Amino acid sequence: MNNLDMSVNIAGISLKNPIVTASGTFGNGWEISRYYDLSELGAVTSKAITLSPKQGNPPPRIAETDSGVLNSVGLQNSGIEFFLKYDLPNLRRYDTKVIANISGNTIEENCEIAKRLGGEVDFIELNISCPNVKQGGVAFGTDPRIVYDITGRVREHCSVPLIVKLSPNVTDIVEIAVAAQKGGANALSLINTLLGMKIDVNTRKPILANNTGGLSGPAVKPVAVRMVWQVAKNVDLPIIGMGGIMSGEDAAEFILAGASAVAVGTANLVTPTAALDIKKQFVQYLVKNKIKNVKDIIGAVIAN
Amino acid sequence: MNNLDMSVNIAGISLKNPIVTASGTFGNGWEISRYYDLSELGAVTSKAITLSPKQGNPPPRIAETDSGVLNSVGLQNSGIEFFLKYDLPNLRRYDTKVIANISGNTIEENCEIAKRLGGEVDFIELNISCPNVKQGGVAFGTDPRIVYDITGRVREHCSVPLIVKLSPNVTDIVEIAVAAQKGGANALSLINTLLGMKIDVNTRKPILANNTGGLSGPAVKPVAVRMVWQVAKNVDLPIIGMGGIMSGEDAAEFILAGASAVAVGTANLVTPTAALDIKKQFVQYLVKNKIKNVKDIIGAVIAN
Amino acid sequence: MEKTHSCTIVKKTMLCPDTYDFVVNFPQEPKPGQFVHISCGEGVMLRRPMSVCDYFDNNLRFSFAVRGKGTKLLAQHSVGDKLDILGPLGTNFGVDKKGDGVSLVIGGGIGIFPLFYTAKFLGEKTEAILGFRTKDLVIMEDDFNAVCSKTHIVTDDGSYNCAGLVTDIFKERLQKGDITSVYTCGPRGMMKAVAEIAAENDIFCEVSLEERMGCGIGSCAVCVCKIKGKYLKVCQNGPIFNAREVDFDE
Amino acid sequence: MEKTHSCTIVKKTMLCPDTYDFVVNFPQEPKPGQFVHISCGEGVMLRRPMSVCDYFDNNLRFSFAVRGKGTKLLAQHSVGDKLDILGPLGTNFGVDKKGDGVSLVIGGGIGIFPLFYTAKFLGEKTEAILGFRTKDLVIMEDDFNAVCSKTHIVTDDGSYNCAGLVTDIFKERLQKGDITSVYTCGPRGMMKAVAEIAAENDIFCEVSLEERMGCGIGSCAVCVCKIKGKYLKVCQNGPIFNAREVDFDE
Ligand SMILES: Cc1cc2nc3c(=O)[nH]c(=O)nc-3n(C[C@H](O)[C@H](O)[C@H](O)COP(=O)(O)OP(=O)(O)OC[C@H]3O[C@@H](n4cnc5c(N)ncnc54)[C@H](O)[C@@H]3O)c2cc1C
Ligand SMILES: Cc1cc2nc3c(=O)[nH]c(=O)nc-3n(C[C@H](O)[C@H](O)[C@H](O)COP(=O)(O)OP(=O)(O)OC[C@H]3O[C@@H](n4cnc5c(N)ncnc54)[C@H](O)[C@@H]3O)c2cc1C
Ligand SMILES: Cc1cc2nc3c(=O)[nH]c(=O)nc-3n(C[C@H](O)[C@H](O)[C@H](O)COP(=O)(O)O)c2cc1C
Ligand SMILES: Cc1cc2nc3c(=O)[nH]c(=O)nc-3n(C[C@H](O)[C@H](O)[C@H](O)COP(=O)(O)O)c2cc1C
Ligand code: FES
Ligand code: FES
């Protein structure tokens, strides 16, 4: 472990290791920081931030499916002011990079949030892929022209690298990724959740009050790995890969597919120490496979 | 069970019950018929049929994922002549409807296969959603204009109802379904598999020789249920729902979401009697919930 | 730093059909009304929340009804097996706010579990009003008798003691005028009715709410209930809330 | 109608680290070279194919190395547990084509398992050539000794008996000119080499192929190998193929 180089580079910023938390599954760090030192992580991602506080969708907001989880939180959060005043200073106490996930209802709102964040965070992650809100969200993320447009306009207001978080609910992920790149994105996050539904066959009602929700967890991992691989081959931007990462080997799979860093989402709901556990297992994987530098295996899949 | 009406209607043809086998997971019935009487089923679906025999993709062609299966068979089959001469007469020995799944490389090829099938089968299922072939397949199924065009042209050559089988690898499933309807489809099947990938982190190679494959099984069920629900609300065609059905309650979930019949796919790979077992469990579900007529619960979900 | 606990099951009892009682080694003393978040085993990913039913000698007791996949898997565990348990979690019943009079714990069905541990903290002037659907489901009567000065039991169908609702007994019991606090857990409709009666009589009342959970620690925001018009997290801001602040109809 | 079998495990042995031997009740007598398709338990959906290693008194024996998730789960079963098993499946070794001379069974690593049952059918003039990576992995020597007139064992590193490959012994053994048939199972490279030597010497040779499987009965077409230029299903058209017809390099 001593001569192991775990650092990776995302858009010119070095993360001490490639393990990141995924937005919305980590709160803003308060709770999970009671289980381990957040300085262990390469970066942490905030909950979605909107301009004003947002109530989110009515409960139930979660349903378990086979190897997956459906959620319909709907971006509940306390707004940008609260984030800057309370959450960010707390996160800054740790030696880790901070990614602010922003999810405005409109392009203008996203620009405004980016502006207010200024240089206070290390990255801005533009969420154009939330399937649980009527305005903004996935509606932005499925049309390449809109992706190009919104990326370009938000980019103008960012003082830090802009990560665009893509939706998997699209016909051609590469087309969307290319649009984000052309629009000026500095990195890409993928994937957000797949739109899904679960019905209670006895009551005949959908389990989620919102009817549909976003599917995450190991069930979606093959789709996520495939998308990371396709995008990595076709787009020259660093990728933060996510979707069902539950172990160190899962993290390795995404990195081999082409991700420069990986985010742990649903696993945080299963065990508060998940991201730390995954980091440790990933180190074991590296040691076992005699890999001295993580960067050596980024995109190193031997495809046919 | 005596006064239970299990019959459902697909495009004017009555199936004795809504349980169908999904294409490619049931061979052409030879093998599974050694485990139960195929007359127990509402209908059976053939393997994909092409004009000439097709070799398919190199092995390995299967990988297991969490609650899912990736396959890259690539439509290996013996061609239309063989089907008509050997497989169909055998299937005709059973009191069940026969759905011929056709997967030509080109629109013309599909027209030709449909013509040759004539009135010999009960339905033709046009597969424009196979993710494992370079020509035809999913390339046809993701663009609404092509879907409209191919449906219309193949429809002209069909003497029996035409079912169009849709790909879930699209941004807007409703748009595709509407295109198929406008093109003249008499029913819809959904979903085919989601494109996925799995990498062996020790060898660094994709498990499938084809690199990517189609994801099926319980992992995809929430996506499938959601798509059936969306399409049922927006399109006035009977739907054969599928994707991860492993139990009678799973079958009920799809029917509540709006499917008139359901197809059992991956479950056939797990146990040869799967479709029969699921039918029995579905009957138990109906009895337990005092449902006398299956048709009463088609689309009966109580959404919010 | 907090952590999850690997706990050995030391006792397993069936309380009534499909309802189990587990005692496990557990290092951290919980407060009354708190819950633990339990990994049910391979094939179920998310933990399931269970109220603390009792705690003694480094042993935690929890009891549960088999509902779906998770509780079914949990029930298959045997003495000697290990369970991965997170907790204790959430807020606790304000037993210090009980006042000078008699405290009531009012529970319905599986809602009675957290009330047992709570009653132990409330002291001898506590009475329990417990409602069950039918005789076969009446459980823990002896337990409550041991810690409460009186245990009133009602069944929906009158198959055990008198027929009726816990609220009938609650209203009757209010006549004496000596009740100063009420702690309740059970079906939402029941808790709402109890809360209304308590409010009318201006009695301190706390409820234990339920919502489908993810993380159980406040980081995923899925487990919300409307409290004074805002969505608060049941796992972190609750599960115990002041009854007056809960928007029961949302 | 055929059906799956619910089989009780009556014996479990560890042959060497991470390699287990199970004996289960099984109602149907298999042919040599056939396989069974086993449900490994909750959390693994697809069955895993395992060769028949032996059959006696309505008992089926199979042996396996722990590789991934499925075999790991399978290995966790104990005597008394039930396993859901499909089979026997596939084609069998042509033991009736063995000719008048000596038959050889040539196996490497876990490939030796189907050869034991096969050797029992081949009769007393059978010899076994078994290869293992290293001494600790040498297994079933006594078993083979009991049914073969001679059992040659080689290890890659020479830590047990002589160092070398099964093909070295095979070539040596061919000198006598009394071999009329060869049955082989093991790593693909080994089988290819054996097949080539057999072909050069014009000896009847059959191989047992492996491929990742789904259904195991021929209905999903995932388990193919190239045989005379065409993809045939290992589960249905195999696993036993005439060595001359296999396109080993595909
Ligand atoms: C703070 C808290 C404390 C609880 N304490 C207890 C207890 O002491 N004893 C006990 O038996 N139960 C308790 N519950 C309820 C228990 O958590 C659920 O019954 C359990 O999660 C169901 O899991 P399942 O996998 O069996 O059901 P699922 O298959 O997930 O669903 C089956 C049924 O259970 C219900 N359900 C699912 N999740 C929850 C949930 N989180 N809360 C409420 N209902 C749910 C659904 O309405 C559904 O009808 C508590 C719940 C909470 C939130
Ligand atoms: C006809 C046949 C007979 C077999 N007989 C035996 C036997 O008697 N004893 C024994 O130990 N093994 C036997 N195998 C191999 C055995 O089926 C695999 O080792 C097993 O399926 C691996 O499952 P897993 O879940 O542990 O591995 P996975 O997690 O699926 O994969 C782990 C490793 O196993 C290999 N593998 C996976 N599936 C197969 C497969 N279907 N065939 C070959 N390799 C695979 C992969 O290459 C991978 O590296 C046989 C295979 C076939 C096709
Ligand atoms: C409960 C929950 C809440 C989420 N909230 C957000 C969010 O606010 N913003 C966002 O970009 N993604 C959100 N996501 C998506 C995750 O960040 C991640 O992209 C996705 O869940 C896939 O990763 P996983 O399978 O590891 O969870 C949420 C996911 C879950 C499960
Ligand atoms: C091994 C395999 C082969 C398949 N081959 C075909 C095919 O030839 N034609 C087709 O339309 N769908 C094919 N499919 C897709 C299934 O018919 C079905 O749409 C899909 O698997 C979802 O259902 P399931 O989750 O129940 O398997 C195949 C699926 C599998 C697993
Ligand atoms: S369960 Fe995650 S916030 Fe309550
Ligand atoms: S495993 Fe299905 S055809 Fe061989």
Report ipTM for this prediction: 0.96
Check A76 against C221: CB less than 8 A apart: yes
State the pairing for strand pair D230-233/C54-56.
Answer: unpaired
> According to the model, what pLDDT value does residue B2 have?
62
Segment C124-147 mean pLDDT: 95
DSSP-derived pairing of the beta strands D102-108 and D179-185: parallel
Q: How far apart are CA B108 and CA B117, in angstroms?
A: 14
CB proximity A86 to C under 8 Å? no
Name the residue facing B25 among D45, D46, D220 (closest C-beta): D220
Q: What is the spatial distance between Cα C25 and Cα C52, in angstroms, rounded to a whole number?
A: 13
* Residue from A26, A35, A49 to probe the interface with C (highest C Cβ count within 10 Å): A35
Question: Can you read off the two tokens belonging to residue B283?
Answer: 């009957």
Distance CA A281, CA D25 (A): 40
Q: How far apart are CA C226 and CA C247, in angstroms?
A: 5
User: Which residues 17-46 of chain C have a CB within 8 Å of chain D?
Assistant: 42-43
End-to-end CA distance of chain A: 32
Which among B226, B224, C224 has a CA at the least distance from the CA of A212? B226
* Residues of chain D positioned with their CB less than 8 A from the CB of B32: 217, 219
The residue-averaged pLDDT of B219-225 equals 98
Ligand nearest to the CA of C224: 5
Q: Which of residues 44-73 of C touch D (CB under 8 A)?
A: none
Residue B201: name the closest of A285, A116, A211, C211 by CA. Answer: A285
Residue B1 has pLDDT above 70, yes or no: no
Query: Please, which residues have CB within 8 angstroms of residue B248's CB and are 6 or more apart in sequence?
Result: B278, B279, B280, B281, B282, B283, B284, B285
> Which residues 55-74 of C are in CB contact (within 8 Å) with A?
69-70
Is residue A18 within 8 angstroms of chain B, CB to CB? Answer: no
D47 contact B CB<8A:
yes
Question: If DSSP codes are grouped into helix, strand and coil, which group holds residue A114?
Answer: helix
Closest CA to D237 of D10, B274, D246: D246
Contact with chain C for residue D78, Cβ under 8 A: no
The band of D205, judged by pLDDT with boundaries at 50, 70 and 90, is very high
pLDDT at D162: 87
Residue whose entry in the numeric block shows the structure tokens 């009531």: C104
* Domains of chain B, each with CATH number or no CATH: 8-297 (3.20.20.70)
**Nearest ligand to the CA atom of C238:** 1
Give B217 Cα–ligand 4 centroid separation in angstroms: 9
B149: buried, middle or exposed (CB in 10 Å: 19+, 13-18, 0-12)? middle
With an 8 Å Cβ cutoff, is B285 touching chain A? Answer: yes
| Contact D221 CB / ligand 6 (< 6 Å) | yes
| Length of chain D in terms of residues written | 250
Q: Ligand 6 centroid vs D238 CA: distance in angstroms?
A: 10
Q: In CATH terms, are C5-89 and C95-208 the same topology?
A: no
Distance CA B228, CA B249 (A): 16
Give yes or no for residue A1 having a pLDDT over 70. no
The predicted model gives A68-85 an average pLDDT of 96
The neighbouring-strand residues paired with D171 are none
Q: Tell if the CB–CB gap between A244 and B66 is shorter than 8 Å.
A: yes
Nearest to B232 by CA among B287, B280, B174, B288: B174
Q: Residue C220 is nearest to which of A24, A55, A60, comparing CB atoms?
A: A24
Q: What is the DSSP string of chain D?
A: ----EEEEEEEEEEEETTEEEEEEE-SSPPPTT-EEEE---TT--S-EEEE--EEETTEEEEEEE--SHHHHHHHT--TT-EEEEEEEES----GGG--SSEEEEEEEGGGGHHHHHHHHHH-TTEEEEEEESSGGG---HHHHHHHSSEEEEEETTSSSSEES-HHHHHHHHHTTS-EEEEEEES-HHHHHHHHHHHHHTT-EEEEE-----SSSSSSS--SEEEETTEEEETTTT-SEEEGGGB-TT-
- Enumerate the domain spans of chain C: 5-89, 95-208
Cis peptide before D27 (omega within 30 of 0): no
CB contact under 8 A, B204 and A300: yes
pLDDT, tens digit, for every residue of A154-204?
999 999 999 999 999 999 999 999 999 999 999 999 999 999 999 999 999
Q: Which of D47, D233, D237, D241 to mutate to test the pocket of ligand 6 (most atoms within 8 A of CB)?
A: D233
How far does CA B75 lie from the centroid of its chain? 14
Q: Is B63 in the pocket of ligand 4 (CB under 6 A)?
A: no
Find the Cα–Cα–Cα–Cα dihedral D213, D215, D221, D224, rounded to 10°: 30
Report chain D's mean pLDDT, rounded to a whole number: 96
Q: Locate the ligand 6 atom nearest the alpha carbon of residue D236 and give its number.
A: 4
HSE-up (13 A, CA, CB side) for residue A259: 27
Would you say B165 and B221 are in contact if contact means Cβ atoms under 8 Å apart?
Answer: no
Is the predicted pLDDT of residue A126 greater than 90, yes or no?
yes
Nearest CA in chain C to D44: C43
C215 and A71 within 8 Å at the Cβ level: the answer is: no
> In a 10 Å sphere around its CB, with 0-12 CB exposed, 13-18 middle and 19+ buried, how is residue A253 labelled?
buried
State residue D136's pLDDT score: 94
Average pLDDT over residues B217-236: 98
| Model pTM above 0.95 | yes
In this prediction, residue B140 has a pLDDT band, given cuts at 50, 70 and 90, of confident
Residues 6+ apart with CB under 8 A from C68: none
Average pLDDT over residues B181-193: 98
Provide the token pair at B248: 């009678």
**Distance in angstroms (rounded) separating the CA atoms of residues B150 and C6:** 59
Residues D200 and C248: their CA atoms lie apart, in Å, by 85
Q: Where are the beta strands (DSSP E) in chain A?
A: 8-10, 13-15, 19-21, 43-45, 62-65, 68-71, 97-102, 123-127, 162-165, 187-190, 194-197, 212-216, 239-242, 261-264
**pLDDT band at residue D250 under the 50/70/90 scheme:** confident
Closest Cα to atom 21, ligand 2: which residue?
Answer: D48
Say if A221 is an interface residue toward chain B (CB within 8 Å): yes
Antiparallel, parallel or unpaired: β A187-190 and A194-197: unpaired
> A141 pLDDT band (50/70/90 cuts)?
confident
Q: Both tokens of residue C124?
A: 């001898």
Report yes or no: C3 and C123 within 8 Å, Cβ to Cβ.
no
Give the amino acid at C88: P
Would you state the pLDDT for residue A3? 83
- Could you read off the pLDDT of B45-88 as tens digits, one per residue? 999 999 999 999 999 999 999 999 999 999 999 999 999 999 99
Question: What is the Cα–Cα distance from C80 to C60, expressed in whole angstroms?
Answer: 15
Residue B133 clears pLDDT 80, i.e. is over it: no
- From the number of C-beta atoms within 10 Å of its C-beta (0-12, 13-18, 19+), residue A136 rates as buried
- The residue behind tokens 């779906």 is C68
8 A C-beta contact, residue D226 and residue D250: yes
B304, exposed or middle or buried, with CB in 10 Å at 0-12, 13-18, 19+?
A: exposed
Q: Whose CA is nearest to atom 17 of ligand 2?
A: D49
Instruction: Say how far apart CA C71 and CA C48 lie, in whole Å.
Output: 8
Interface contact B78, partner A, CB < 8 A: no
Give Cα B215 to chain centroid, integer Å: 14
Axis-axis angle for helices A221-234, A248-257 (nearest 10): 30
Ligand 1: which atom is nearest the Cα of residue C113? 8
Cα(B60)–Cα(D46) distance, integer angstroms: 15
Q: Chain C contacts of A67, Cβ < 8 Å?
A: 45
C-alpha distance from A201 to closest chain C C-alpha (Å)? 12
Burial class (CB in 10 A: 0-12, 13-18, 19+), B55: middle
Q: How confident is the model over D133-177, as pLDDT tens digits?
A: 999 999 999 999 999 999 999 999 999 988 999 999 999 999 999
DSSP 8-state secondary structure symbol assigned to residue A40:
G
- Predicted pLDDT of residue A130: 77
- Report pLDDT for A2: 62
Instruction: Kindly list the partner chains of chain C, i.e. chains with 3 or more CB atom pairs below 8 Å.
Output: A, D
**With an 8 Å Cβ cutoff, are C219 and A272 in contact?**
yes
Which residues of A belong to the active site? 130
Among the bound ligands, the one closest to the CA of C233? 5
For ligand 3, atom 29: residue with the closest CA: A24
Which candidate, A35, D53, B262, places its Cα nearest to that of C215?
A35
Which residues in chain A touch residue C4, judged by CB atoms under 8 angstroms apart?
A: 271-273
Pairing relationship of beta strands C48-51 and C35-38 according to DSSP bridges? antiparallel
What is the third-level CATH fold of D95-208? Answer: Rossmann fold (3.40.50)
Helix (H, G, I), strand (E, B) or coil at B212: strand
**A214-224, pLDDT tens digit by residue?**
999 999 999 99
- List chains adjacent to chain D, taking adjacency as at least 3 C-beta pairs closer than 8 Å: B, C
- Out of B130, B194, B255, B259, the active site residue is B130
Cα–Cα distance for residue pair D119/D152, rounded to 1 Å: 14
**Ligand 6 closest atom vs CA D219:** 3
Among chain A residues, the shortest Cα distance to C84 is held by A271
Regarding the beta carbon of A142 and ligand 3, being less than 6 Å apart is answered no
- C248 within 8 A of C99, measured Cβ to Cβ: no
Atom of ligand 5 nearest to the CA of C233: 4
Q: Does domain C5-89 have CATH number 3.10.20.30?
A: no
- pLDDT averaged over every residue in chain C: 96
Q: Which of these, A221, A276, A228, lies nearest to A35 by C-alpha position?
A: A276
Catalytic annotation on B111?
no
Confirm if B27 and D236 have CB atoms less than 8 A apart.
no
* DSSP H/E element including C107: strand C102-108
Distances (CA, A) of A212 to A65, A243, C43, D72: 13, 18, 23, 36
What percent of chain C clears pLDDT 90, i.e. is strictly above it? Answer: 97
pLDDT confidence band for B113 (50 / 70 / 90): very high
pLDDT band at A133 (very low <50, low <70, confident <90, very high): confident
Distance from residue A269's CA to the centre of ligand 5 (Å)? 8
Residue C15 CA to residue A233 CA, distance in Å, equals: 59
What is residue B64's three-state secondary structure?
A: strand
Q: Which ligand is nearest to the CA of B70?
A: 4
Non-local (6+) Cβ contacts of B99 within 8 A are B20, B23, B43, B44, B45, B46, B121, B122, B123, B124, B125, B163
- Residue range D122-136: mean pLDDT, rounded: 94
- Is the minimum distance from the CB of D213 to ligand 6 under 6 angstroms? yes
Work out the percent of chain A whose per-residue pLDDT is above 70. 98
Task: Name the pLDDT band for A138 (thresholds 50, 70, 90).
Answer: confident
Ligand 5 atom closest to the Cα of residue A62 is: 1
pLDDT at C153: 96
| CB contact at 8 A, D134 and D161 | no
* B257 contacts in chain A (CB < 8 Å): 197, 199
Estimate to the nearest angstrom the gap between the alpha carbon of B117 and the chain centroid: 18
Using DSSP bridges, classify how beta strands D19-25 and D59-65 pair: parallel, antiparallel or unpaired: antiparallel
Non-local (6+) Cβ contacts of A266 within 8 A are A25, A68, A69, A216, A217, A218, A244, A246, C45
Verify whether ligand 5 is closer than 6 Å to residue C218 (CB atom): yes
Round the CA-based radius of gyration of chain B to a whole number and report it: 18
Question: For a pLDDT cut of 90, what percent of chain A falls above it?
Answer: 94
D176 class by beta-carbon count within 10 Å (0-12 exposed, 13-18 middle, 19+ buried): exposed
**B74/chain D closest Cα distance in angstroms:** 9
Mean pLDDT over residues A30-43, rounded?
A: 98
In chain C, % of residues over pLDDT 70: 100
